Amino acid sequence: MKIKFTWPMGIVIALVSFMVFILSFVYKAHFVNKYDHHLVSEDYYKDELNYQTEIDQQNKGIALKENVSIKKTSEGLLIVFPKEFDPSTISGTIYFQRLSNDKIDFDLPIKLETNEFLIKNETLVEGRWDIKIEWKQAESEYLFKEKIMY
C-alpha cells in the first residue's frame, strides 16, 4: 500500500506537530516539579500596602552616619551594624530569600554583643540572595535591603 503525500496532508501534519509541541510545554509547566513556579510573596497585596513604610524605614537608615553593611569573609557573611548605636539595644530580624527556590528561605533574629553579626558558610548556599534586614533601635525602625551573589 502506497500513501500519497498531498499538501492538505502536509498542513494537517504540521498542525498536529505544532499542537504536540505546545502541549509538551504545558505538561512540563504544570506537572514536572523541576519547573515549579511560584510567587515571590504569598501576601503580595498586604506587602504592597506596606511599601511606603518600607521606603521611609530605608530612608532613615540611609540618613544615618553609617548604614548597615554586608561583607563576604572567609568564615561567612558578615553584617556590620552602625557603630553609633549600642549593640545590645539593637533588635530585629534578618530575612534571606532565594528567588529560585523558596524552600531554602530562612530568617534569623538579631541578638548582638558587638556591632557585627556573622552568618556561617554552612548556612548559605551559593547563588543570588535577597537580604532584608528589619532592625529597631530604641523607638526607631530601620530597613536595609540588598541583593548579593554568594
pLDDT score of 42 more than 80: no
pLDDT value at residue 146: 92
- Do residues 76 and 7 share a domain? no
Instruction: Please tell me which residue, 35 or 65, carries the higher pLDDT value.
Output: 65
DSSP element (H, E) containing 47: helix 44-49
Residue 61's CB is within 10 A of a number of other CB atoms, namely 19
CA distance 133 to 74: 22
Confidence of residue 40 (pLDDT cuts 50, 70, 90): low
pLDDT value at residue 41: 66
- Do residues 27 and 58 share a domain? no
- Do residues 32 and 68 share a domain? no
- Do residues 13 and 74 share a domain? no
What is the amino acid identity at position 147?
K
pLDDT value at residue 125: 87
Instruction: Please tell me which residue, 150 or 42, carries the higher pLDDT value.
Output: 150
**Which tens digit of pLDDT belongs to each residue from 80-130?**
999 988 988 999 999 999 887 778 889 999 998 899 999 998 888 888 999
Give Cα separations from 101 to 59, 107, 132 (angstroms): 29, 15, 17
Segments forming the whole domain that contains residue 80: 44-149
How many domains are there within the chain? Answer: 2
- Burial of 92 by CB count in 10 Å (0-12 exposed, 13-18 middle, 19+ buried)? buried
